[in-house]
């Protein structure tokens, strides 16, 4: 059948059919599109027919897996409309499922033996996220064969899965795995884009992350990784970059979308210039139906064909801006995600900001989205680090009110629109910024290796070096730093919301003060699995905290706390006490000198345990009174950040009204007994 006898174009991209393939690509402003094919035996060019509703199409007898192909589009050159067609430029298919290292799309065989793969589907309230990089996680792992380190296969290796189990991780969040390239400016400095936020294709897995050497093998290896992680009970969610592409601004390379139809794929101003809300030179225009379809089709492919469990959307505000550039929570793209029968059942996480006007939107995404909570990050760092440094120097702090708000699930940000504490993805560190250990060891960033004169990266980190910049042999300083790390991770793992660990923080990894290691594909970024004794102890601490979270439902709140009794005659779901055991009033909450308090979480089930959190942000010990709990008899100490060892078998039990000493700058967890 002639393509032009169709009333509708075939599915976008290359689709295998009996005897060959069908192909379609959108290029509404082009005057002609040619497909160059190479099956390893011969090369041929096919003039596509069209445009049919803007699509150029072909039936391709004999095309099968392994065929390589590129596109060439001809058309007008009109910079005022952002049209710069050049038929000499080879272009990638936006729907390419695989790419080779020579810059061609490759047809793949989509069949794969999933072996009864079943997604783990951990509820948000029971989830512990672990953000990591495909290469960085395993490049130095001694328990993984050398030829698999830094690859998808390495992530699926039992040695890594065992570690994730040990520290209580349910969900692996991977930095971008879509095919990407390095920016020319980085290559000129002898560096590469390590993080991967520079997408070249929205369907193809990045080939350099595979042990396999051929495009089909790359795709199959990614699937095998997901299968292995699922078998180990670990979900896989992808950090996806749909807000911009590797083509950058108009001075950047023309690789695919710009050469096909820039006016359809990108936000363009009245003068034909790219509107940049990403900081990377361009912004994908999800107000255009073809661009919106592309992103939705990509998401469905990664769930349906690659079996991933969800997505973290980079600069998600850019995806929800309307034609006027204003953020709209009811943007058609966001509505489509929320209503799609496949995608709406996955984990959807927004990075709720971009660099455009009004770009900070934490708390403003609709359900079922969860969001990275940058206020949690900032307030926890402030309380345990920068405020402590200020107080020690004779300056003021910020009190305890904001830390208490974060412990309770950030209702100020998410307590509207039928949302819950699980809308908050809590984190104190992420790939972008200091590691937890570096937060305690550096007051200033040290990004000289990036070749930008230390001008890149954030300068206000709310960190504290504990009086010495960088590594030191002073054991008192190192002990204080270790306690601060435990305070940060302890607060993260006992707060209401969904905790996200940055890979390696559980054993105190360092990036040597680099807080923007986006171009460091080396030991600065790779996890060093050779642990000193204190690092092994820290792993045990993290494991103990995630175990507490699993075993005590009050640490996994599904609803916001109200202060009301959880059952007749029982305790309130939350109550706040001073060190003397009296209720904290508004005046105390507003007092910047208030840095010690307790938080009692009452269990909704009398058969379950209540939890008391004791927070001492003072730089001296504080005696804390243990409050009464109706129907209970006493408390047992479950965890103390002042202790170097995580020992949940201790028998430190106290009665109601007893006073316990909270060490300087420490956090304790007590459970009700009897």
Residues with catalytic annotation? 314, 351
Instruction: Kindly report the length of the chain.
Output: 674
Bridge partners, residue 132, by sequence: 174
Asked whether the beta carbons of 535 and 507 are under 8 A apart, the reply is yes
DSSP 56: E
Burial class (CB in 10 A: 0-12, 13-18, 19+), 409: buried
What is the helix (H) or strand (E) element at residue 347, kind and residue range?
Answer: strand 347-350
Dihedrals φ, ψ of 588, to 5°?
-70, -40
Check if the beta carbon of residue 641 is closer than 8 Å to that of residue 668: yes
Enumerate residues 6+ apart whose C-beta is below 8 A from 563: 572, 573, 574, 575
- Angle, vertex CA 160, rays to CA 128 and CA 316, nearest 5: 45
CA distance 593 to 570: 32
Distance CA 284, CA 295 (A): 10
Q: How many CA atoms lie within 13 A of 572 on its CB side?
A: 14
* Ramachandran sector of residue 559 (left: φ over 0; alpha: ψ -120 to 50; beta: rest): beta
Q: What angle do CA 198, 203, 204 make, to 5 degrees?
A: 75
Strands of the 49-52 sheet, one edge to the other: 13-17, 20-26, 55-61, 49-52
Using CA atoms, how far apart are residues 486 and 495, in angstroms rounded to an integer?
Answer: 14
């Amino acid at each position: 059948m002639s393509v032009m006898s169709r009333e509708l174009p075939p599915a976008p991209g290359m689709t295998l059919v009996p005897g060959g393939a069908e192909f379609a690509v959108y290029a509404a402003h082009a005057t002609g599109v040619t497909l160059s094919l190479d099956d390893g035996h011969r090369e041929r060019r096919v003039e596509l027919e069209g445009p049919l509703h803007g699509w150029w199409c072909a039936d391709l007898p004999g095309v099968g897996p392994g065929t390589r192909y590129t596109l060439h589009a001809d058309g007008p050159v009109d910079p005022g409309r952002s049209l710069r067609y050049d038929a000499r430029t080879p272009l990638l298919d936006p729907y390419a499922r695989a790419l080779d290292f020579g810059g061609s799309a490759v047809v793949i065989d989509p069949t794969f033996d999933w072996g009864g793969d079943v997604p783990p589907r951990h509820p948000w309230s029971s989830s512990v996220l672990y953000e990591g990089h495909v290469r960085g996680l395993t490049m130095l792992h001694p328990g993984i064969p050398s030829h698999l380190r830094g690859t998808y296969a390495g992530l699926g290796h039992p040695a890594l899965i065992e570690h994730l189990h040990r520290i209580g991780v349910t969900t692996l969040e991977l930095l971008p795995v879509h095919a990407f390239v390095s920016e020319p400016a980085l290559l000129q400095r002898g560096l590469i884009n390590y993080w991967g936020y520079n997408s070249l294709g929205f369907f193809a897995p990045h080939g350099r992350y595979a042990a396999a050497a051929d495009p089909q093998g790359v795709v199959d290896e990614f699937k095998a990784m997901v299968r292995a992680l699922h078998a180990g009970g670990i979900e896989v969610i992808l950090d996806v970059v749909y807000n911009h592409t590797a083509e950058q601004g108009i001075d950047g390379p023309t690789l695919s979308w710009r050469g096909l139809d820039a006016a359809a794929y990108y936000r363009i101003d009245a003068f034909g210039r790219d509107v940049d809300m990403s900081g990377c030179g361009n912004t994908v225009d999800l107000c255009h139906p073809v661009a919106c379809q592309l992103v939705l089709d990509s998401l469905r492919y990664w769930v349906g064909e690659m079996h991933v469990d969800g997505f973290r959307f980079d600069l998600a505000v850019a995806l929800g801006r309307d034609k006027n550039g204003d953020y709209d929570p009811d943007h058609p793209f966001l509505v489509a995600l929320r209503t799609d029968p496949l995608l709406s059942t996955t984990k959807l996480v927004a990075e709720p900001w971009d660099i455009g006007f009004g770009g900070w939107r934490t708390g403003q995404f609709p359900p079922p989205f969860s969001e990275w909570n940058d206020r949690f990050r900032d307030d926890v760092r402030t309380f345990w680090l920068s405020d402590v440094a200020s107080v020690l120097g004779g300056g003021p702090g910020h009190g305890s009110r904001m830390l208490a708000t974060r412990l309770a699930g950030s209702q100020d940000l998410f307590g509207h629109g039928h949302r819950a504490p699980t809308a908050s993805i809590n984190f104190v560190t992420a790939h972008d910024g200091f590691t937890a250990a570096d937060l305690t060891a550096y007051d200033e960033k040290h990004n000289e290796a990036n070749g930008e004169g230390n001008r890149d990266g954030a300068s206000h980190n709310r960190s504290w070096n504990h009086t010495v910049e960088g590594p030191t042999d002073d054991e008192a300083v190192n002990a204080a730093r270790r306690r601060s790390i435990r305070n940060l991770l302890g607060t993260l793992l006992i707060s209401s919301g969904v905790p996200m660990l940055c890979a390696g923080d559980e054993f105190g990894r360092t990036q040597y003060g680099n807080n923007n290691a986006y171009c460091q594909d080396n030991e600065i970024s790779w996890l060093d699995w050779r642990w000193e004794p204190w690092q092994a102890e820290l792993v045990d601490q993290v494991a103990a905290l995630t175990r507490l979270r699993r075993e005590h439902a009050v640490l996994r709140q599904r609803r916001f706390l109200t202060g009301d009794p959880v059952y007749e005659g029982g305790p309130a779901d939350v109550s706040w006490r001073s060190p003397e055991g009296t209720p904290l009033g508004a005046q105390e909450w507003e007092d910047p000198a208030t840095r010690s308090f307790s938080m009692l979480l009452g269990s909704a089930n009398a058969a379950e345990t209540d939890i008391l959190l004791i927070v001492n942000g003072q730089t001296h010990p504080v005696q804390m009174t243990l409050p009464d709990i109706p129907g209970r008899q006493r408390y047992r100490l479950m965890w103390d950040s002042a202790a170097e060892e995580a020992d949940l078998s201790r028998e430190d039990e106290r009665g109601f009204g007893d006073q316990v000493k909270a060490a300087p700058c420490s956090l304790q967890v007590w459970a009700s007994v009897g």
